[in-house]
Amino acid sequence: QDHERRIVSVGQAVKAMVLNGLGFVNQRRYLVPHFFQDKPTERLIGAGIGPEHLNDDVTGRALEKLYEHDVTLVYARLASQAVRRLGLKPRFGHLDTTVFTSMANTTVVRRYGHVLKYDILSQDLTPTPSE
């Protein structure tokens, strides 16, 4: 979409989706405007933004932009910035390194550097040497 004609920025659309999610509402994207009907959208999202502007086209384009810029990297940078701004001192970290790969009748599960192969037909989970 033309940036000059855009009413809702990608950041504003993401903010709207986060607020919608914080409202504990598990709704489809096309229902986001309905969620904001009784909310002060100009105050929450930005000047000139009404519920009708937060439609599924807007949120869909925002999700596409996030995907283009690697959602995991965006989230990691966002979390890191929040930790700095809030002055938090994290003592622990968590990295989930589980990867699932399916091939024919076998699913390969990589977890913490260990490789396990699960044969769907025999329902056998076999450790194999790390690749």
The whole-number mean pLDDT for each consecutive block of 10 residues of the chain, a chain of 131 residues, reads 76 91 70 90 95 92 90 84 88 60 53 50 48 45
Sequence-distant (6+) residues with CB within 8 A of 62 are 10, 13, 14, 17
Tokens of 119: 């044969």
Q: Are 130 and 112 in contact (CB under 8 A)?
A: no
Q: Are 63 and 41 in contact (CB under 8 A)?
A: no
- Global confidence as pTM: 0.61
